């Protein structure tokens, strides 16, 4: 299982590549060194709040969206986590059923 720094790094890298930016170009736009972008993408450290805000502006997402990693997990892992949580909590099952009914 990956930690938060690694997951955020993967998300930043994914967004950077989807916009056809090099690490150098992104670093220039953010106003930090290229090595810092590399460290973020490789999960060596988390960006400062200021850097996080600049990244979200460049990628045209809300800052919290940089922490949405579910798509990076294999679907089987998501299912297993969800089913395990529902096995432990009947209220969660009821809530999930309401959500399911609302979107179907």
pLDDT tens per residue, range 57-93: 999 999 999 998 776 667 788 789 889 999 999 999 9
- Name the nearest CA neighbour of 19 among 48, 51, 57: 57
Q: What is the CATH number of the domain that holds 57?
A: 1.10.260.40
51 and 98 part of one domain: no
The model's pTM is 0.67
- Which structural domain, as residue segments, surrounds residue 62? 4-70
The answer, yes or no, to whether residue 1 has pLDDT greater than 60, is: no
E-strand ranges in 1-104 read: none
30 and 57 part of one domain: yes
Which helix (H) or strand (E) segment is 65 a member of? none
How many CB atoms are closer than 10 A to CB 37?
Answer: 27
65 and 81 part of one domain: no
In total, how many domains does the chain have? 2
24 and 10 part of one domain: yes
37 and 83 part of one domain: no
CA dihedral 66, 69, 70, 72 (to 10 degrees): 130
């Amino acid at each position: 299982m990956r930690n938060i720094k690694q997951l955020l790094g993967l998300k930043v890298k994914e967004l950077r590549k989807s916009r056809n930016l090099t690490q150098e170009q992104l670093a220039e736009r953010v106003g930090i060194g290229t090595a810092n972008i590399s460290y973020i993408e490789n999960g060596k450290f988390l960006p400062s709040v200021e850097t996080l805000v600049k990244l979200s502006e460049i990628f045209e997402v809300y800052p919290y969206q940089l922490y949405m990693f579910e798509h990076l997990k294999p679907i089987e892992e998501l299912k297993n986590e969800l089913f395990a949580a529902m096995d432990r909590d009947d209220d969660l099952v009821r809530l999930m059923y309401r959500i399911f009914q609302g979107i179907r």
